[in-house]
Amino acid sequence: MLAETLKDGMMSQRDRDFVEVAVSTTSGLFPASGTDRVPVNQKVRVQLDKAARELRLADTAGWIATAGNPPQGINPDRSYEENGLSGTVEISWGPEHGGGG
Amino acid sequence: MHELASRELFEAQTVGFTPEFAARRGWVLHAVEYPVLDVSFTSPSRTPLRVRFRCDDWNGKPPSIEVLREDGTPHASPWPPNGNPSGVFHQGPHPTTDRPFICMRGSREYHSHSSHAGDLWDNHRSHPDNTLGGLLHQIWRAWLKGSD
């Protein structure tokens, strides 16, 4: 019993060390289905760069990454933890609109 | 633009629009079949917005974009009721369609409007932001900033 409780505690701590990440872009999802498990202290940009390579995104300069509901802007050069993100993280990434008025 | 080339580009730019992709964004894919891209945006506590791209001659011409209710009927001017805070949703009426329209680079109604006659689509169509997914993303982001 005690062993199981300790094991559950360790699993929870291990889970808190990671996030499950999906990135949706103008060309589709990365990964194509499900999520990638990445360290919570990893910079968001690492996963965005992987998405850009996998989905062959030609130029992502100026693109905005958001997460949460309602969507909030996140800083790709900070980690998930530093952006206040945990658990399953769904990132939308793309160009910002340019209305003509 | 030759129709075959237009179709191939349309299909290449929408191949990633899978049911899982749509679900993660709160989108409903009504039609993704050349030359029509018909998508609803949904979000909790918001009235859904549906946009229908007609992509004939893509990307020689930008798509004509209809602004619709969830059931596919067009919004009438003036819409949206709270004005045009993002600059993207123009209450209209557009001189050609007589309806509200998407007032943004990449919309046929924008480039055909007399106010933007000098802003040629040819100057923007090769930019990576102006794929079909890029245009849809920009409209969706503008919609998310609304409140109705």
- Cβ-Cβ contacts under 8 Å, B25 against chain A: 24, 92
> Residue B27 has which token pair?
């989108």
A64 touches chain B (CB under 8 A): yes
Predicted pLDDT of residue B138: 96
Mean pLDDT of B65-78: 97
B136 touches chain A (CB under 8 A): yes
Question: Within 13 Å, how many C-alpha atoms sit on residue B30's CB side?
Answer: 17
Q: Name the pTM for this structure.
A: 0.92
The percentage of chain B sitting over the pLDDT mark of 90, rounded to a whole number, equals 89
Contact predicate A91/A44, CB 8 Å: yes
Mean pLDDT of B64-80: 96
Is residue A91 pLDDT above 90, yes or no?
yes
Are residues A29 and B18, on separate chains, in Cβ contact within 8 Å?
yes
Mean pLDDT of B28-45: 96
From A24's Cα to the closest Cα of chain B, the distance in A is: 7
Predicted pLDDT of residue A68: 87
Residue A8 lies in a domain: no
From A28's Cα to the closest Cα of chain B, the distance in A is: 4
Predicted pLDDT of residue B86: 85
Instruction: Give the residue numbers spanning the domain of A67.
Output: 17-94
Q: Mean pLDDT, chain B, as a whole number? A: 95
B108 touches chain A (CB under 8 A): no
Mean pLDDT of B46-51: 95
**Hey, of A23, A25, A27, which one would you mutate to test binding to chain B, going by the most B CBs within 10 A of its CB?**
A27
The CATH number for A30's domain is 3.10.20.90
Are residues A69 and B134, on separate chains, in Cβ contact within 8 Å?
no
Report the alpha-carbon angle B12-B15-B16, nearest 5.
125
Predicted pLDDT of residue A7: 56
Q: Which residues contact B131 (CB under 8 A, 6 or more apart)?
A: A26, A27, B13
The pLDDT confidence band at residue A15, using thresholds 50, 70 and 90, is confident
d(CA B39, CA B26): 10
Residue A6 lies in a domain: no
Of B25 and A16, more confident? B25
- Cβ-Cβ contacts under 8 Å, B129 against chain A: 26, 59, 94-95
Nearest to B41 by CA among B95, B80, B3: B80
From A54's Cα to the closest Cα of chain B, the distance in A is: 12
Predicted pLDDT of residue B1: 81
Dihedral in degrees, nearest 10, Cα atoms B42, B44, B48, B53: -20
Mean pLDDT of A4-16: 63
Q: Mean pLDDT, chain A, as a whole number? A: 89
Roughly what angle, to the nearest 10 degrees, separates helices B132-144 and B3-14? 50
Q: Which residues pair with A43 in a beta bridge?
A: A79
DSSP state of B119: S
Residue A63 lies in a domain: yes
The pLDDT confidence band at residue A88, using thresholds 50, 70 and 90, is very high
Domain ranges of chain B: 3-68+92-142
A99 touches chain B (CB under 8 A): yes
A92 touches chain B (CB under 8 A): yes
Of B125 and A6, more confident? B125
> Domains in chain A: how many in total?
1
- Cβ-Cβ contacts under 8 Å, A99 against chain B: 84, 86-89, 103-104, 142
ipTM of the complex as predicted: 0.91
The pLDDT confidence band at residue A71, using thresholds 50, 70 and 90, is confident
Is residue B127 pLDDT above 80, yes or no?
yes
Is residue A5 pLDDT above 70, yes or no?
no
Residue A27 lies in a domain: yes
Residue A55 lies in a domain: yes
Nearest to B89 by CA among B62, B116, B68: B68
The pLDDT confidence band at residue A8, using thresholds 50, 70 and 90, is low
